[in-house]
Amino acid sequence: MEIIDSALDPKQWVDTHGDYLFSFARARVKDVEYAKDLVQETFLSALAKRDGFKGQSSIRTWLTAILKNKIIDGYRKRSIETVSNESVNWDTSVDFFETNGGWSEKTRPIAFGFEDEKALENKDLKRILEFCFDKLPEMWRMVFVMKHIDDEKSNHICKELKITPSNFWVIIHRAKLSLRDCLQKNEI
Amino acid sequence: MSSGMKEEKYENCQKATFLLEKRQYKSLSLWDLIFLKYHLFNCALCSIYAKQTLIINALIRDLITHRETSESQLDSNTKEKIKSEINNKLG
């Protein structure tokens, strides 16, 4: 009983889990201040519903799940506001391909010179990738993170973010094309 | 080699790259697989893309996990602010 209580003591939460939750949020949202707000909201709503904590998972896992829901809610709200713009962008921003489906002249892939595991040790490449990744539209980054980092099922992502399966594939495809192109344009 | 053939192999790159992404999540239909194999065999550009897309996945995974595990980022001001909010609510 005592052990559970001390883990549950909300006065310890910030010191024990604050950095972790902040890092988790920072990896998923661009804005630092917004990430801080999310962490604060997470603690406060955890506090409000801590009687519902069943102890089946660790308190950290529980807090992380609350934070994750808040991040997704935020994406959803903002994407409703920007969805019309974004859907236009998907079709007309950069044309990676000619009308016949072939690569357009200015976006043709050029070999990076390290199409293998060595790329992971390349500091410059990582720096440029970080720059390019943060430039992606928020919805694209979110889909990417949920799929590649959180290993969620595609249909689950569609449901969470309220996007159609065909939009999901378009996002995945265009996000990758944009990232690849950004890496190439920034002179790897 | 007629120029017509040369042009032909660069067509459908949009479809091929789309399938290259899709196959990372779902198994492709036999027809799509045959299309993709045939296209990659003939198209040097999409073959480069096929390697790069996997490297980019690995790099992003690396970037996010790095961001997640880099510690002590929440500044003490914010921590104190949240703590006092919590204390207030606890009464």
Query: Is A154 an interface residue toward B (CB < 8 Å)?
Result: yes
Residues A93, A113: Cα–Cα separation, whole Å: 28
In b/e form, how buried is each residue of A51-63, taking b as 16+ CB within 10 angstroms? eeeeeeeebeebb
What gap in Å lies between CA A152 and CA B81, rounded to an integer? 34
Do residues B19 and B30 touch, judged by C-beta distance below 8 A? no
Name the residue among A13, A97, A117 with its Cβ closest to that of B13.
A97
Tell me, yes or no, if the pTM score tops 0.80.
Answer: no
Enclosing domain of residue A165: 94-188
Asked if the Cβ–Cβ distance from B21 to A173 is below 8 Å, we say: yes
Same domain (yes/no): A103, A162: yes
CATH number at residue A51: 1.10.1740
From A102's Cα to the closest Cα of chain B, the distance in A is 4
Residue A9 located in a structural domain: yes
pLDDT of amino acid B26 = 86
pLDDT at B68: 76
Q: How far is CA A71 from the centre of its chain?
A: 9
Read off the pLDDT of each residue in A122-150 and give the average, rounded to a whole number: 84
- Split at pLDDT 50, 70, 90, the class of A85 is very low
For residue B6, give how far its alpha carbon lies from the nearest alpha carbon of chain A (Å): 11
Choose among B44, B53, B22: nearest CA to A119.
Answer: B53
Whether A179 and B57 have beta carbons less than 8 Å apart is answered as no
Least confident of A104-108, A152-156, B5-9, B20-24: B5-9
Q: Note whether A154 contacts B26, CB cutoff 8 Å.
A: yes
Chain A nearest-CA distance from B83, in A, is 7
**pLDDT value at residue B4:** 42
* Average pLDDT score over chain B: 84
Higher pLDDT, A91 or B63: B63
One domain, residues A154 and A101:
yes
Q: Within 13 Å and on the Cβ side, how many CA atoms surround B88?
A: 8
Do A64 and A21 meet the contact criterion of CB atoms below 8 Å apart?
A: yes
How many independent structural domains does chain A possess? Answer: 2
Q: Is the pLDDT of residue A78 over 90?
A: no
